[in-house]
Amino acid sequence: MAEVSIRNVTKKFGKSEVIHGISCEIHDGEFIVILGPSGCGKSTLLRLVAGLEEITTGEIAIAGRVVNRLEPADRDIAMVFQNYALYPHMTVYRNMAYGLKMRRMPKDEIDQRVRSAAKILELNALLDRKPRQLSGGQRQRVAMGRCIVREPKVFLFDEPLSNLDAKLRVQMRLEIRKLHEDLRITSIYVTHDQVEAMTLGDRLVVMDNGFAAQIGSPLEVYERPASMFVAGFIGSPAMNFMEVEASDDGRTLVLPGSVRIPLDGGGLPAGSRKKVILGVRPEHLELNGNREGGIQLTVDHVELLGADTLVHGHLGEGDVSLIVRLPDVHRIEKRGTIRLFIPPGKLHLFDPQSKKRVA
């Protein structure tokens, strides 16, 4: 079994604390994605698990063994980096076999492991080539093959697709997911790309300035973000936010222009708060059609994307900007107006001070 336990881990560089007491239990065979913007501490956390950085306080255990004081080579992990890190003078075969050779493994076993990994990654025809003769995607597969042959307890991926073009990233994303389903090796994957996170991860750890802002499945994080940071980071285009007032009974929101929207599920506790931040995703705003009520949006700009249409606009005098994502092609005139319906079940409410979710 290869569970990874991260228990109240902190990391300081000098007097600056960059990881603030993160705890997470990663199950055997689980694919965890650490997601966040640049500088949030996600790669630092991965390096702590790998042993490339020393923990300040807390504890990390792999397969039930505390590894705080173990060297990276003794942790039974394999790491795939962003820059491939292949030996340019060695063939694909020798690159994949080198680590096993350093362990003085028998030649027959080395050959069996390398050819088995090459088959999984469709590298059989490339074993005699040098890295300079490979495409970016092929080099990344070689880097993964070098990890597979070691048969580690845990795979660590540090933004492995960042150097690839968009089309190749989609292909490699599918290959990594298929590889994980075939091997079922516990994996920790770092990325700033939310599409990679949503499609690869069994669970996400969303990082915000060294804190774990939310840990949950991709759909949990998308449907019930724990804070405005998570809500704004997950989803493209980002969630719309506006400050609104709650009615005295907590069952209705009053938007700019005195538009009133009922709340589902009993609403907020009566008199609990007068102002809240309303969040609604662009894809959840609907054209009003023949329904009563709704909000009127003045159109500032329209982006026709083919499968979707993005409408940028504002409410009232322009104090509140909104982005609407409509399916299919909609030819909407700039400076015109459209009426939108906000489904009550798709609303997200946050506290203006703490920025935490309240409903």
Give residue-wise pLDDT tens across range 239-258.
999 998 887 777 888 887 67
Gap between the Cα atoms of 50 and 106, Å rounded:
27
| Domain's final residue, options 233, 257, 278 | 233
Q: What pLDDT score does 290 carry?
A: 66
**CATH code where residue 229 lies:** 3.40.50.300
**CATH code where residue 319 lies:** 2.40.50.140
Instruction: Indicate if 104 and 182 belong to the same structural domain.
Output: yes
Asked if 37 and 194 touch (Cβ cutoff 8 Å), the reply is no
Instruction: Indicate if 81 and 218 belong to the same structural domain.
Output: yes
Question: Which range marks the domain in which residue 336 is found?
Answer: 240-350
Percent of the chain with pLDDT over 90: 65
Mean pLDDT to the nearest integer, 18-37? 96
Instruction: Indicate if 21 and 159 belong to the same structural domain.
Output: yes
Least Cα distance to 196 among 234, 143, 142 occurs for 234
Q: What pLDDT score does 55 carry?
A: 96
Please tell me the pTM assigned to this model: 0.90
Instruction: Indicate if 218 and 283 belong to the same structural domain.
Output: no
Instruction: Indicate if 208 and 340 belong to the same structural domain.
Output: no
| Domain's final residue, options 211, 233, 255 | 233
Instruction: Indicate if 17 and 102 belong to the same structural domain.
Output: yes
Report the 10 Å Cβ neighbour count for 298: 16
Number of domains in the chain: 2
Instruction: Indicate if 118 and 77 belong to the same structural domain.
Output: yes
Instruction: Indicate if 95 and 216 belong to the same structural domain.
Output: yes
Angle between helices 136-148 and 107-120 (to 10 degrees): 140
Indicate whether 356 belongs to any domain. Answer: no
Q: Is the pLDDT of residue 120 over 70?
A: yes
Beta-bridge mates of residue 239? none
pLDDT digits (tens, 9 = 90+) for 151-188: 899 999 999 888 888 888 888 898 889 889 988 999 99
Gap between the Cα atoms of 239 and 353, Å rounded:
18
pLDDT digits (tens, 9 = 90+) for 65-111: 999 999 998 999 999 888 878 999 999 999 999 989 988 999 999 99
Instruction: Indicate if 327 and 197 belong to the same structural domain.
Output: no
Instruction: Indicate if 259 and 228 belong to the same structural domain.
Output: no
Gap between the Cα atoms of 34 and 38, Å rounded:
12
- Residue by residue, DSSP assigns 112-137 as HHHHHHHHHTT-GGGTT--GGGS-HH
| Domain's final residue, options 209, 233, 257 | 233
